[in-house]
Amino acid sequence: MKELYKDTRNRMGKTLNVLKSDLAAIRAGRANTQLLDRIKVDYYGTLTPINQVANVTSPEPKLLVISPWEPKMIPVIEKEIMKSDIGITPTNDGKVIRLVFPDLTEERRKELVKMISKYGEDAKIAIRSIRRDAIDKLRKMKKASEITEDEQKIGENEIQSITDEHIKSVDEIVKEKEKEIMEF
């Protein structure tokens, strides 16, 4: 059963990592190089993250500078940024691409908070699904007489405890990101 607990913790931990990476891509009024991590460009027939075809820096709080290693990548990178959901129009001088981050309006902040809440809810649903899988495994073990009814109850309580711990983490992560969005 320890293996089941470990597996459950690992799977729920991965869900938290996905949530964190999704939330890192949501901008909070300041430039963040992670914002571009999900955007991939066609680099010699392979979809490649921008940070693997260019140097991405944030010289100022509201500016990202993308310096492609090959100048011919500038229009390709610009096109993918325009297609993405970051809502910023890139500008270039033939050598680098600049993304200037405007201040967030109150309306946009509220939209972002709703999006953050949705990501949090999706993470909770995934965690509950993992809990259901673990409890089903316990029931199958009981049915196969691998564990007793008492061990099954103890196992279900432990799985619930692990679930509660991860749900609480989701709430904390979401609350922290919402605070970050609303404070500017």
How does pLDDT run across 118-160, given as a tens digit for each residue?
Answer: 999 999 999 999 999 999 999 999 999 999 999 999 999 999 9
- In this structure, the chain runs to a length of 184
Q: What is the pTM of this model?
A: 0.70
**Which one has a higher pLDDT value, 106 or 137?**
137
Domain boundaries, the chain: 2-24+105-182, 33-100
In order of 4, 92, 109, 141, 149, the CA distances from 144 in angstroms are 16, 65, 53, 5, 11
CATH 1.10.10.10 fits domain 33-100: no
CATH class, domain 2-24+105-182, is mainly alpha
Q: Any idea of the CA torsion for 42, 44, 48, 54, to the nearest 10 degrees?
A: -100
What distance, in Å, lies between the first and last C-alpha atoms of the chain?
A: 47
Which residue in this structure is represented by tokens 């196969």? 144
Alpha-carbon distance of 75 to 97, in angstroms, equals 9
Alpha-carbon distance of 148 to 55, in angstroms, equals 58
